[in-house]
Amino acid sequence: MMTISDLFDLNDTIAAPLFQGKTYPWQVLGELSDFILQLGATLPAEEFDHPAEDVWIAKDAKVFPSAYIGGPCIIDHGAEIRHCAFIRGSAIVGKKAVVGNSVELKNVVLFDYVQTPHYNYVGDSVLGSHAHMGAGSITSNVKSDKTLVVIHEGAEAMPTQRKKVGAILGDYVEVGCNSVLNPGTVIGPHSNVYPTSSVRGTIPANHIYKSQDAIIPKK
C-alpha cells in the first residue's frame, strides 16, 4: 500500500506538519479543519490577509471577485482562485496552485503548483505537487451504497473507517479530461490517466491508465 512518503514531497506544502506521524494520506482528512485553524492563527500578518473568519489568503495570491472562499481555508503565496470558484471550507491551496472556473473544493489539501483549472470537483482528497486535473474531471468521494471507503491495491484491502474519501494523487499526476476518480482511488507519482476514464483502486507510479484492464508502465 503506497504511503505518504511514496506519494509526496512534503517540502511542497505548507501542510507538511499535518502529515507527520501518519502513514497513509487519507489519515489527515479528519484532522484537516482543526489543523487549518491552528496554522492560520500563526501566519504572519505582513504576508497573509485575514478577510473573513477562519480564512487566510497570501497577499500575493490572486482571487477573482466572483470566487467564494469559506473557512477554514488557507491560500498560499502566488495561488490563483479564478472566476466562480467555490471553496466550501477545510481547504489548503498551495503555492502557485490554480483553482479555476467553477471549481469546487471541500476538505482538501492541494500541494504547491497543483492545477484544478476547469469545472473540477475535488472533495476529501489530497493532490500532490504539480498534479493536474483535466477539464471536467472529478473526485467521487462517497460510495453509492454509502458504506465506508476501502483502499484497494491488488489483493490488499485497507479500510479507511471514513464514509468520505475522494482521491489521492501523487506528485506530477496527470488526469485526463472528464474522468471520474472513484472513492478511494490512489494514483502514484508521475502517472497519467486517459481522458473519460472511470478509475478505481490503486494505480502504480510511472504508469499510464488506459482502462481498468490496461494499466501499462511508462517507457
pLDDT digits (tens, 9 = 90+) for 71-84: 999 999 999 999 99
- The domain covering 4-212 belongs, at the CATH homologous superfamily level, to Hexapeptide repeat proteins (2.160.10.10)
Tell me the per-residue pLDDT of 147-178, one tens digit each, with 9 for 90 and over: 999 999 999 999 999 999 999 999 999 999 99
Residue 100 and residue 200: Cα distance in Å, rounded? Answer: 25
Res 134 pLDDT > 90: yes
pLDDT above 90 as % of the chain: 99
Cβ atoms of 123 and 107 closer than 8 Å: yes
- Give the CA count within 13 Å in the CB-facing half-sphere of 29: 25
Region 1-28: mean pLDDT is 98
The pTM for the full model equals 0.97
